[in-house]
Structure 1
């Protein structure tokens, strides 16, 4: 597992790849890689959500859990699951129920990957 600082650096690296990529599918996979790093770190803070088992999500995303689906279906399912987790995290964010460093990583990921969203909210 990456430390907090290593996860920040990883997100920054992936954000640069994300900004340079113009293909729909690779774009989503880059988002998924960075998000998985956040979730993997969040497990060390005891974070959980009700929509899924985060440890199983990380195993699937990292390819360490056997899956009978073909790779394309698995990646689509992981992206769908990522969106589901994000929805729950957004709700938990409003009530302050995300551990501090996980919250910082999640906010950093959002700002780095979608900087236009920050500009719209200002």
Structure 2
């Protein structure tokens, strides 16, 4: 991974708590709301690695105050394991007031529930 992706101000770690494993190869995307039109603009797409982590979603230069969302393609992930899920996708919406702070947003999921929090 290059240095610009490694120091992204937004990262996530997805854990499959049903099986006690990282959620590897889960597709996800980062979006920012356009407040003038109230629509979401795609910033980047990514995928979790074998450890369930995805770090390089946005550069420091492109990160500014505003409302963002991480969209996790949970249904596709569970289908890849031959299982069904209640949630086809999970969107975590968050507000950035200080773009100098790092935001780590883990996601803990099962086929019928999920939880998220601000991590370190």
Name the TM-score, length of structure 1 as normaliser: 0.28
Higher strand share: 2
